[in-house]
Homo-oligomer: A and B are copies of this chain.
Amino acid sequence: MSADEEKPSLPVSFEQLAELEDDFEQVDLELTRVQDKLTKDLYVKREKIIADIPHFWNSVFEVAPEEFEHAFKETDGELLLALKNLFVTRFDLPEGDPRSFSIKWEFEENAFFEDKVLEKKFIYRQSPKGDVSGLVSEPVKIHWKPGKDLTNGLTDLVLKVHAEEKAGKVDEETDAKKELKKKIEDTPLGDLSFFTWFAFRGPRITEEEHKESLKKEEEKRQLRKAGKPVEDDEMEEDEEDEDDLFDKAYEYEPYPAADDQALCIAEDIWPDAIKLYLQSQEDDILSEFEDLDDEDEEMEEDDKAEPASKKRKA
Q: Please tell me if A226 contacts chain B, counting CB pairs below 8 Å.
A: no
Closest B residue to A10 by CB, please name it.
Answer: B281
Q: Please tell me if A46 contacts chain B, counting CB pairs below 8 Å.
A: yes
- From the candidates B1, B20, B274, B310, name the one contacting A42 in the complex (CB within 8 A): B20
- Minimum CB–CB distance for A23 against chain B, Å: 5
- From the candidates B23, B240, B275, name the one contacting A45 in the complex (CB within 8 A): B23
Given the complex, which residues of B lie within 8 Å of A30, measured CB to CB? 38
Known A7-B285, A247-B313: A42·B21 in contact at CB below 8 Å: no
Given the complex, which residues of B lie within 8 Å of A275, measured CB to CB? 21
B27 A35 Cβ-Cβ under 8 A = yes
Q: Using an 8 Å CB-CB cutoff, how does the interface string of A279-298 with B read, 1 for contact, 0 for none?
A: 00110010000000000000
**Copies of this protein, total:** 2
A52 B281 Cβ-Cβ under 8 A = no
Interface residues of A in 23-44 (CB under 8 A from B): 23-24, 27, 30-31, 34-35, 38-39, 42
- Minimum CB–CB distance for A282 against chain B, Å: 7
Q: Give Cα A23–Cα B46 distance, bound, in whole angstroms.
A: 10
Q: Please tell me if A188 contacts chain B, counting CB pairs below 8 Å.
A: no
Q: Give Cα A301–Cα B35 distance, bound, in whole angstroms.
A: 47
Q: Give Cα A38–Cα B23 distance, bound, in whole angstroms.
A: 10
Q: Using an 8 Å CB-CB cutoff, how does the interface string of A114-146 with B read, 1 for contact, 0 for none?
A: 000000000000000000000000000000000
- Minimum CB–CB distance for A177 against chain B, Å: 14
Interface residues of A in 162-198 (CB under 8 A from B): none
- Minimum CB–CB distance for A217 against chain B, Å: 18
A17 B243 Cβ-Cβ under 8 A = no
Interface residues of A in 79-126 (CB under 8 A from B): none
Q: Give Cα A1–Cα B282 distance, bound, in whole angstroms.
A: 9
B17 A274 Cβ-Cβ under 8 A = yes
